[in-house]
Amino acid sequence: MSLSEKPSEDEEHVHEKQQAAEHAVAYVTSGMLVGLGAGSTALLATRLIGQWLQEGRLHDIVGFPCSSAIEAEARALGIPLTLDPASPVDLTIDGADEVDPALNLIKGGGGALLHEKIVAQASLREIIIVDESKLSPALGTHWPLPVEVIPFGWHSQRRFLESLGARVAVRQQPDGTPFKTDQGNLILDCAFGPIRQPAALAARLDARAGIVEHGLFIGLATEVIVAGADGVRHLTPQPTDVEAAGKAC
């Protein structure tokens, strides 16, 4: 291959995402209730599920979409859907904006964090698919934390988040108007820098009236599939020192 034929970085990036999606969809079996994550990488998985249904490789699949955009995409692909499943979700495939060594996540770059967390918490298995650029030594190092707030009194939430050390920006549409979630809420993107105690921060945000949800997904990922130049890696949470000591007893 000549230099002129060498794939661009963007093409390689898309190829890595496709690899991760294919690896994750291989765990989907017929008869499953599947959470359909939002975001560009998870969208590839949804499209592959639709393709396999059309080809007959899968059947009796029901999807639980994490956003209105994914719902529309899945319906166009012919994937049967539910918006209120009566049973636990067998498997969810979703993406992430940042992943720390403990497989905690920052999500919400696409604005669907509330629905994504509802689906994740309803799932027996949460597979996160990312490329290597999303791995981070600490959450917040590379990505601001999205915080979804109701419009009523939202300036008080901004002041609260700033008191916790965040630089806060109201997420906007390309035309400069405020971004609205599927529930009609605002998103405040909060640059904390590296978050040393994400669980403690999550608890502070959970306790605040007016904050609907935040993008800290603590202990929800059962596994993370990472695609890179050297292939695909499958990561699972490692036991803490305390858990390891208990199992050794």
* 162 among known catalytic residues: no
Q: Catalytic residue among 71, 116, 126, 148, which?
A: 116
Distance CA 180, CA 185 (A): 5
Kindly list the catalytic residues. 116
